[in-house]
Amino acid sequence: MTQAYIENQKGKSLKATLRLKLHLDPATEEALRETLEQSTSCFNAVCRHGWDNDQRNGTRLHQATYQPLRETHSDLPSQLVISARMKATEALKSVQERKRQGRFVSCPQSSLCPVRYDARSYWIRLSDGYASLATTQGRVCVSFRLCAYYTRYADWRPCSADLCFRNGKYYLHLVVEREAPNPVAEGVLGVDFGIVEIATDNDGNRYSGEAVKSVRRRVRRIRRLLQQRGTKSARRHLKRIRAKQSRFVKNTNHVVSKSLVGTALTSRKALALEDLSNIRDRADTVSREMRWLLGNWAFLQLRQFVSYKAEALGVPIVLVDPRNTSRTCSECGHCAKENRKSQSKFHCQQCGLMLNADLNAAKNIKARGECSDALLFWSEALPTNQEQAPNL
Ligand SMILES: [Zn+2]
């Protein structure tokens, strides 16, 4: 309930989705129920038409289905008929994509599909805790309580909202947005992600992965035992353990990313990270450790958390060339495989520098970040009044 998902958006806006639980009287609940059912019926009808006629084009689907649906669903506001058609088009397109990948798919059907509201079909007063929604029985007013965590979003702009029904309760999933603060930086903080330490920065701060590793080891042991047993209750237990582990990793990633971004913000530095976008194409120049990390969703999640938190607080991120960051000496620049003595030790064969391997890599990443053109641009464009950052 008190969680918000912020995504990096194109351009300069930040978005978050708030999950608001609605408090309803029986009559309003009935109106929402009927609206959800009718909208779902429209959704299914459009999906069926698109499926049978192999049609994925939004305009064509509209032309073919809008009038008949208006006649059969006369209570449903026209805007909601259109929004159901738009959702159905998205579903058909994603089915087409999966088909293209050679997977078996059937016509998309929904038992109760969320209703998408936009500026024409709803409005909301976030700080006052109420909204007005178009339904089959005209406009209805719904109320909700804005929890303490969400008050920080009270002045963000509301965009679209989805009305959802889950476990007997009605929720409004509201998307809000605002401008991202201008990035500010006067220096660079190099960060190396790894297995031994989740992250190490070039000042030697470590964001330890010890807790994560011990939990992972324990879970692996229990999992093996349960898989051997293979009973129904063992499988249920296994599922619970998996969910618990993923919550634990997520929490750790939030803690680590918050701490990293916080360090960069207070020292007014940009975060330099390794650019992993083309890394798969040149596996030969990337360490085995890096390849292991790339297949690890927890690590990718951490990078995601770091980037959205950085964007929300105006901390620039500089992506640097990841080649040989762990083999190069941060003191003299000598690059050799032999420099890396073990997972944790770096020993330069030329100048004799001995250092923790992650710290050495972080220093290299910092140095590469300082040479980046992007950073030059950010230092010149230092804004005078930094917008007050939300507390993430
Ligand atoms: Zn050296």
Letter for the amino acid at 314? G
Q: pLDDT-based confidence at 295, cuts 50/70/90?
A: low
Q: How far is ligand 1, taken at its centre, from the CA of residue 92, in Å?
A: 58
Half-sphere exposure of 125 (CA within 13 A, CB side): 7
Same domain, 121 and 202: no
Q: Tell me the residue range of the domain where 161 lies.
A: 1-180
276 vs 164: which has the higher pLDDT: 164
Same domain, 125 and 199: no
Q: Is residue 154 part of a domain?
A: yes
Same domain, 136 and 38: yes
pLDDT tens, residue by residue, 67-114? 999 999 999 999 999 999 999 999 999 988 888 888 888 888 888 889
For the chain, the domain total comes to: 2
Helices marked H in 5-144 — which ranges?
Answer: 26-52, 58-72, 78-100
pLDDT tens, residue by residue, 223-271? 888 888 888 888 888 888 888 888 888 888 898 999 999 999 998 898 9
Cβ neighbours around 389 below 10 Å, total: 12
pLDDT tens, residue by residue, 125-152? 998 999 999 999 999 999 999 889 899 8
Q: How far is ligand 1, taken at its centre, from the CA of residue 1, in Å?
A: 51
Question: What is the sign, positive or negative, of the torsion defined by CA atoms of 37, 39, 43, 48?
Answer: positive
Same domain, 108 and 127: yes
Same domain, 273 and 374: yes
pTM to 2 decimals?
0.64
Q: How far is ligand 1, taken at its centre, from the CA of residue 375, in Å?
A: 26
Q: Look up the CATH number of the domain holding residue 340.
A: 3.30.420
Q: Report residues near ion ligand 1: CB below 5 Å.
A: 329, 331-332, 334, 348, 350-351, 353
Q: How far is ligand 1, taken at its centre, from the CA of residue 354, in Å?
A: 9
pLDDT of residue 294: 64
**Mean predicted lDDT score pLDDT of the chain:** 84
Q: Do residues 285 and 322 make contact, with C-beta atoms less than 8 angstroms apart?
A: no
Question: What is the sign, positive or negative, of the torsion defined by CA atoms of 282, 283, 285, 286?
Answer: positive
Same domain, 109 and 193: no
Q: How far is ligand 1, taken at its centre, from the CA of residue 334, in Å?
A: 5
